[in-house]
Chain A
Amino acid sequence: MANASGLFTPAPPRTCSPCTPIYRSAFSFSPTPRILCSSIAHRAEKLPPSHQAQMVDSRGCKLVGCGSAVPSLQISNDDLSKIVDTNDEWISVRTGIRNRRILTGKDSLTDLATEAARKALQMAEVDPEEVDLVLMCTSTPEDLFGSAPQIQKALGCKHNPLAYDITAACSGFVLGLVSAACYIKGGGFKNVLVIGADALSRYVDWNDRGSCILFGDAAGAVLMQACDSDEDGLFSFDMHSDGEGQRHLNAKMKEREKEHHELGTNGSLLGLLPRGSSYSCIQMNGKEVFRFAVRVVPHSIELALAKAGLTRSSIDWLLLHQANQRIIDAVATRLELSSERVISNLANYGNTSAASIPLALDEAVRSGKVQAGHTIAAAGFGAGLTWGSAIIRWG
């Protein structure tokens, strides 16, 4: 089928103990015998029997730590009313946002992301050296080639764990979670840092009152860890994209108008060469994006629940991408979830894109709301258009 989706239901109890711990298998009946082996060790050393026994067990993944970080500069609705034609009441009624944080000139998104990641590692009691994959979910890296390796360096991860960026806008974090689960279950990874961090303030048109009120900067992180399948904490997922909808929400590439270089005197070649690229400010048709979100998100969550063999009553918390309180309310209503089960903090931070879900999760965990064992329906949605939901268990 075109839409394979997430399926991670935990296994029935194990019936026998794992035995001889050789993690190799060979086929003798195929014409070209093929040896499939795996070694998760960096130097492919012989593992002690107990460790190998552990590897034979099938794999689950669990969320064991979270963290977040926000810039210090806060901008209120009143502050904004002084630079564009708007006011606090208009903004808060229509969006639910009262304040947002933004990175100022010298601040670094990479630092913010590193701080969030560090807190997640501390909560999880995992050393940076044990991290074997760093996923940075962002649309606004500080280098064209991505920012994840810089976070890896700043965290002090030795052993050179892979670190790369995922670009999926406001759905980025949910994709990151699912990717981490697939890496753990299908690729042998053990401690995967999933970071959502964005600095949309750098792509906002601060003259446009329709959009500049909405966005803020932040970073959030979760540590996902390999575990036995009976402890598996990512029950199911459902993710999609629809490129047709890009026209409603984009920040397209544009060519710089003035030439920054003096090129030589070959007229025709110069005429062909690119003159440097950059991205426009965020363009959004708010109404269409709103309609899109309230249409696809409840359906996606219901699909994910069905795949997990769960119902709405199993949900302890609804954790949506924090874009607009009216979207959150509409989705909760459609799913018949009472508002005390809905996590919302966008009043303080606005729409922080890929950071919004881990930021909200972190606050809810540290405040004691979300507790170990709680089932969370999480969903991201946004530019692409892309959307996705996952049914997860915290801790």
Chain B
Amino acid sequence: MANASGLVAPTLPSLRRRFSPTLGVYRSGFWSYDGVSRRMVCSSAAQGAEKLSPAESKARRLVSKGCKLVGCGSALPSIQISNDDLSEIVDTNDEWISVRTGIRNRRILSRKDSLTALATEAAQKALQMAEVEPNDVDLVLLCTSTPEDLFGSAPQIQKALGCSHNPLAYDITAACSGFLLGLVSAACYIRGGGFNNVLVIGADALSRYVDWTDRGSCILFGDAAGAVLLQSCDSEEDGLFAFDMHSDGEGQRHLKAGMKEDNTDQELATNGSLLELLPKGSSSYSCIEMNGKEVFRFAVRVVPHSIELALEKAGLGVSSIDWLILHQANQRIIDAVATRLEVPQERVISNLANYGNTSAASIPLALDEAVRSGKVQAGDTIATAGFGAGLTWGSAIIRWG
């Protein structure tokens, strides 16, 4: 089928052996429902792989893999800009903004601040909560559209965290759906690739691409970072039940920051015709352009449907949802989705009043605040969904802890 979507590895009610993530030898297997091993996937991932006894090897091969969310963290810049502050530089006011968007304040990075440092702080907190050492991290996924290097920022976070053993670190670009994609990618890496401790970080500095003279958009965005540690576990503890993710390139015209050429930088030598053909200075991206109305319509149309699909795949009903955590773009979108799904208000997590739309950071930021405030507790089932530029959207049904 064209749309493969969230698929959980089949599991079997036979072995309950604890699978230690710290083990050097890494084996996983898949089972059919009837208990017969279909496949032995052998692997030895680690340097210094230890020898297991044949019985142990066989037993380990039989345990299939799950993943669980074991830690979260977030970080915010210190500069806060209120709606009143904005009303002094563009023609707007606090009432207009808060009624139409739900936003009252947002944080932005100062010129000296670094998004990489913010992301690192969020990641450190997630590791602390999870009680996992940086050295045990084997994959760092940075979900961002605004890295501080053309080649990505994830390796800088890996370095700042002090991860020895050179774990792979790379960036995923999927705008406001980025974190959701990061979670699902992490799950696939754990289930299909043998990884054990995957840091998924959502961090964006959209303030750097906002047109601060455009009152339609400058009121919406803020900067932040959030992180989650996803850890391999026995399949019975698996915490990513199902997902559903899509893109529609047709919708790009409603939300984009296209490339433009910058003509001012270089003085070139005197070969006329070649010079005319060469790019004249490094390219850069325009400010964010958005048709708010179309994006709103898109979100309220696709998000409830996506969550319903994911619930169905997980074999769960709306009543199983303890919390609804959506990408924090606009309170009216959040309300509309909750209403459509018939999720009561008290089960909806929202913090965009304080931070605005922080793109890939918004979901982990909201999750982290909800966990640390005691709202979200271990065992709670969360329906989470991201949506935004691409257009891309996705949802996942997850369990915290």
Residue contact A239 to B256, C-beta cutoff 8 Å: no
Residues of B129-144 whose CB lies within 8 A of A: 135-140
Count of B residues near A, CB < 8 Å?
A: 150
Q: Which of B111, B149, B184, B391 contacts A149 (CB 8 A)?
A: B391
Query: Given known contacts A37-B315, A141-B173, A141-B259, what 12 new A-B pairs fall within 8 Å (CB)?
Result: A1-B47, A3-B45, A4-B193, A6-B45, A7-B44, A27-B11, A29-B13, A36-B11, A229-B39, A252-B148, A272-B108, A279-B284
* Interface status of B323 (Cβ within 8 A of chain A): no
Please, which residue of chain B has its CB at the minimum distance from the CB of A309? B42
Please tell me if B295 contacts chain A, counting CB pairs below 8 Å: no
Determine the chain B residues whose CB is within 8 A of the CB of A7 once the complex forms: 26, 41-45, 193-194
Residues of B within 8 A of A298 (CB): none
Q: Using Cβ atoms and an 8 Å threshold, which residues of chain B touch A181?
A: 192-193
User: Would you give the shortest CB distance from B120 to chain A, in whole angstroms?
Assistant: 10
When distances are taken between beta carbons in the complex, the residues of chain B under 8 Å from A83 are 268-269, 271, 274-275, 278
B151 in contact with A251 (CB, 8 Å): yes
B287 proximal to A (CB < 8 A): yes
Q: Contacts A5-B45, A146-B145, A279-B284: A164 and B181 contacting too (C-beta < 8 A)?
A: yes
Binding site for A on B (CB under 8 A): 1-13, 22-24, 26, 30, 32-34, 36, 38-47, 65, 79, 81, 85, 88-90, 108-111, 135-140, 145-152, 154-160, 163-175, 177-178, 181, 184-185, 187-196, 205, 207-213, 235-236, 238, 241-243, 245-252, 255-259, 261-262, 266-269, 271, 274-275, 277-279, 282-285, 287-288, 309, 312-316, 379, 388-392, 394
Residue in chain A with minimal CB distance to B161: A243
Contact with B along A190-220 (1 / 0, CB 8 A): 1000000000011111110000000000000
Q: A114: shortest Cβ distance to chain B, in Å?
A: 10
Task: List chain A residues, Cβ under 8 A from B158.
Answer: 241-243
B171 contacts across to A, CB distance below 8 A: 166-168
- Contacting residues, chain A, for B13 (C-beta < 8 A): 25-29
Q: Is the CB of A1 within 8 A of B46?
A: yes
Q: Residue on B with the closest CB to A245? A: B155
Q: Which chain A residue has the least Cβ–Cβ distance from B283?
A: A202
- Mark out the residues of chain A between 154 and 169 whose CB falls within 8 Å of any chain B CB in the assembled complex: 154, 157-169
Whether A25 touches B236, Cβ cut-off 8 Å, given contacts A4-B139, A182-B192, is no
Residue among B3, B33, B210 with the highest chain A CB neighbour number at 10 A: B3
Which residues of chain A are near B191, meaning CB under 8 Å? Answer: 182, 185-187
B117 to chain A, nearest CB (A): 13
Closest residue of chain B to A108 (Cβ to Cβ) is B259
CA distance A278 to B260 in the complex (A): 11
| Pairs across A and B, CB under 8 Å, 14 listed | A4-B193, A36-B11, A42-B1, A58-B30, A130-B2, A139-B150, A140-B283, A159-B1, A161-B247, A162-B392, A164-B390, A183-B185, A186-B191, A264-B90
Partner of A82, one of B33, B274, B283, B315: B274
* CB-based nearest B residue for A162: B245
Q: How far is the CA of A146 from the CA of B267 in the complex (A)?
A: 30
Residues from chain B with a CB closer than 8 A to the CB of A57 are: 38
CB–CB A206/B30 < 8 A: no
The distance in angstroms between the C-alpha atoms of A243 and B39, with both chains bound, is 37
A34 with B192: CB separation less than 8 A = no
> Which residues of B have CB within 8 Å of A229?
38-39, 41
Which of B6, B38, B65, B193 is A188 in contact with, Cβ under 8 Å? B6
A305 vs B306: C-alpha distance when bound (angstroms): 41
Q: Cβ of B195 and Cβ of A56 under 8 Å apart? A: no
Known: A1-B165, A40-B4, A188-B6. A11 touches B145 (CB 8 A): no
**Total A-B residue contacts, Cβ distance less than 8 Å:** 479
A317 within 8 A of B: no
Decide if A133 touches B392 in the complex (CB within 8 Å). no
CB-based contact A20/B208 at 8 Å: no
Given the known interface contacts A82-B274, A272-B110, the answer about A187 and B7 at a Cβ–Cβ threshold of 8 Å is: yes
Check B165–A2 contact: CB distance below 8 A.
yes
- Counting chain A residues whose Cβ lies within 8 A of the other chain, the interface size class is 35 or more
- Specify the chain B residue showing the minimal Cβ separation from A306: B44
Tell which of A42, A143, A188, A205 touches B285, judged by Cβ atoms closer than 8 Å: A143
* Contact status A145-B268, CB under 8 Å: no
B34 surroundings in chain A (CB, below 8 A): 19-20
| Residues 108-163 of A at the B interface (beta carbon under 8 Å) | 129-134, 139-146, 148-154, 157-163
**Of A62-70, A341-349, A378-386, the one touching chain B:** A378-386
Most B C-beta atoms less than 10 A away, residue of A207, A229, A272: A272
Closest chain B residue, CB of each to CB of A104: B277
Contacts of B181 in A (CB 8 A): 162, 164
Contact present for B314 and A274 (CB under 8 Å)? no
Q: Are A169 and B249 in contact (CB under 8 A)?
A: no
Contact A56 B33 (CB under 8 A): yes
Partner of A242, one of B79, B166, B208, B267: B166
* Contact of A164 with B392 at beta-carbon distance under 8 Å, contacts A34-B236, A42-B3, A182-B193 already known: yes
A178: chain B residues at CB < 8 Å are: 193
User: Does B257 contact A144, Cβ atoms closer than 8 Å?
Assistant: yes
Complex interface: chain A residues within 8 A of B174 (CB):
145-146, 164-165
